Structure 1
């Protein structure tokens, strides 16, 4: 049973993204059981909810953030590692003075050593030598980081798109048909609150911007980015096929969708654009090769002096916000002296 429990734990560790929320939750359940002994590992209800708070306390110290995934997504942990496995893990952990806790946090530190190498490349490379393909590969070829590649794609895409929009000084004008002034007057409070328009201001102009929807670990097919001129943007670090494209289109309510993906066959693109009902939905499909070419232009092209440093600064800022640097364990974990544990799991 212990072997099966370890396999289940290792699978969760392998599948975890860089923030490691689920493995940390298991570590904190085992720590609570070992040090306080006030939970019954065989009875999930004694720790299902409480363990989220224990996890969050450590995550705040480690990462400066907590999980924002849905309760259902978080509870999937106990399908992957059910109570009967946690009982076995707890028994071994108690008998070996926290060996499994140490094992989990050592895996966490190992993943962050890989991450810091990737972050250092971004932070310490200038526009003359920065290669976006190399940066992507630092995540693509590291097993510990590959699960977070979708977020890297989002950041790479958003940094480029928004930097170009700002540098081009794009603006959006919203106006009302003057033949509809009678309706405007009827709903003037609505127009003023929602559109910043009223009888005395029949048009408004604002800067064009592209926004990321938010930072979350929830596995979904929802919207990743949107532009304030009406475009919805979906990021996939996978190669595009018909099934993936159909799922994107069906899950985003927008008439103009841009798909950013690793690669796409020309035949698939043509198929998507010609199918009934999809022709007007997919505005464009952008692949990794497009991103690499545009980064090359921005960093070393004709307008590199205008764009290069600005784009690299935006990229570094978003990367450090998404992936906090972890140089060493915080005091909350140092006090446990995991370094003294010699028993292997």
Structure 2
């Protein structure tokens, strides 16, 4: 771990931005909870904090919660840097919450990582696919799941977990079933019908919490779920026997993204921290520790023997949804989801 800290400290030095931040002035970062928060607190924050003399205040929550926090604090923003999934990030940008990123090393970043006007940048590529308990499947002599249609199999009754629609994994699931039934982002009805009538009977719970998701698997209550490759890798790294499948119809792309929050008095280190997150060293760390597909070409990414990571050809084949259409309809879809699916 000391080697990791040293390398990341060098990365924060390489950013070459202000060194004189007051130690009393905290840098407020809003981002995901669960294993992602653990990695940030343990490996990512300390080198930057030590190098720049700043303390971190981390506000954990899913992307929808973070955007809601930004809206609630519009007149007095507390958050300095926001880490949000790509869909909600487009909303945050449209609502004016993101400031342009300065000195972004575009020459080192994959084009898919970039946002218009540099209002945000991706810090990792995640695949939305299917997680399953290898041990439970072996004991029952079940073949690993291979298709989104497998989630309809009655053998999984009350053993399936899907995040709700306000979570990107849940949204990807809805869009997939809509597309498979002849609809899509512009005709979402078939997706609701499929989930309600064919997938829903197998669902134990629509669970948004990463901690609760792993608890449901650890306790044996759940054996199969829709989840992201990064979170599955972090779970597998604890020693739990989970596998991850890229369904034959295609897995979906989720871009974990970051932006410096637009505010009257920006923290002097907000821009530096964003640059630090896309540095080769941090990108290598997030790939190895969290399973992100790196966005920096100079990062070193090795595949994982337990959880195939979204790198190379797998990353290229990921399905990207139409976020413009989704964001225009998402509030209505969320209300419908509550009314029809989680009633």
What is the TM-score with the length of structure 2 in the denominator? 0.28
Q: Which has the larger radius of gyration?
A: 1
Higher normalized contact order (CA 8 Å, seq sep 6+, divided by chain length): 2
What is the TM-score with the length of structure 1 in the denominator? 0.28
